[in-house]
Chains A and B, each alone.
Chain A
Amino acid sequence: MPFLSVLLVRSALCWLAVGAAMGALLLSTKAAPLPAWVFRLFALHAEALLIGWMVQLAMGVAWWILPKYPRLPERGPAAPIWAAWLLLNAGVLLAGIGRSIGAPETTVIAGRLAELLAAVAFAVAAWPRVKAFGR
């Protein structure tokens, strides 16, 4: 597995561990009297698991297994994937934590914008690798 896929997949695993812990706390609020701030974790729980875990895992695995180029670098330039990793994780932090702590709406919008840019960077890198075998 290439280094950038390791980075993306391990980051996804971190979000899974964190998101699942928040989910367990949130579910427990239906059964036990927990502090009110626990409810505010909902936005970060959703952002962590949907974007941080599932989307990032898909990006990491795709970067690993999509058809390679016959020349070096065999998976294409690394810069867009670095940018996608940085933007996606910054986006999850900004949008998830921003909404959970009641930060100004601009923080959440900035987070979502970062996630969009991550998708653009990833698509730019992955698009030419979606091709028939031998090309």
Chain B
Amino acid sequence: MPSITRWFVRSALLWFLLALATGVLLAGGVSADIPGTAWALPYPTYLHLLTVGWLTNLIFGVAFWMFPRYTAEHPRGSDMLGWLAYVGLNGGLLLRLIGEPIQLSGEAKGVLLLLSAGLQLLGAWAFVLNTWPRVKVK
């Protein structure tokens, strides 16, 4: 299993745990209060922890590993695009996890959320660009 796949899959597992822990908190009320703060995790954040953090990370990691080879020299395509996908997806989600509760509490402007949106988009597009040429008829 290549190094980048291990990063994707282990990150997926961590997001999975965090998502389900958030689910437990949400089940206890309308929103999940973050201890020591006046912030609360909104439901969309929980959904994205599951769908982006867990499912998409797992898909990206396994696809990077198992999809047909690009060439003999570069079997997994561009390493740079792969890492861009990883950093974009996970950095973006982390910023959302921090930024959305702060934004809703009215304590800050939405720079974190704009960055989060841009990073996640960059991550998804980097994955598409790297994977497209590997999806080919054999």
Contact = CB atoms under 8 A, between A and B. Distances in A.
Same complex origin of A and B: yes
A5 B67 CA distance: 11
A9 to B, nearest CB: 5
Given A20-B125, A27-B96, A30-B103, A10 B135 contact: yes
User: How many B residues are at the interface, by size bracket?
Assistant: 20 to 34
A32 B128 contact: no
Interface string B60-101: 000000011000000000000000000000000000100010
A54 B128 CA distance: 13
- Interface size for chain A: under 10, 10 to 19, 20 to 34, or 35 or more residues? 20 to 34
A contacts with B: majority SS: helix
Contact of A16 (B127, B137, B138): B127
Interface of B: 51, 55, 59, 67-68, 96, 100, 103, 109-114, 116-118, 120-121, 124-125, 127-128, 131-132, 135-138
Interface of A: 1-3, 5-6, 9-10, 13, 16-17, 20-21, 23-25, 27-28, 30-32, 49-50, 54, 57
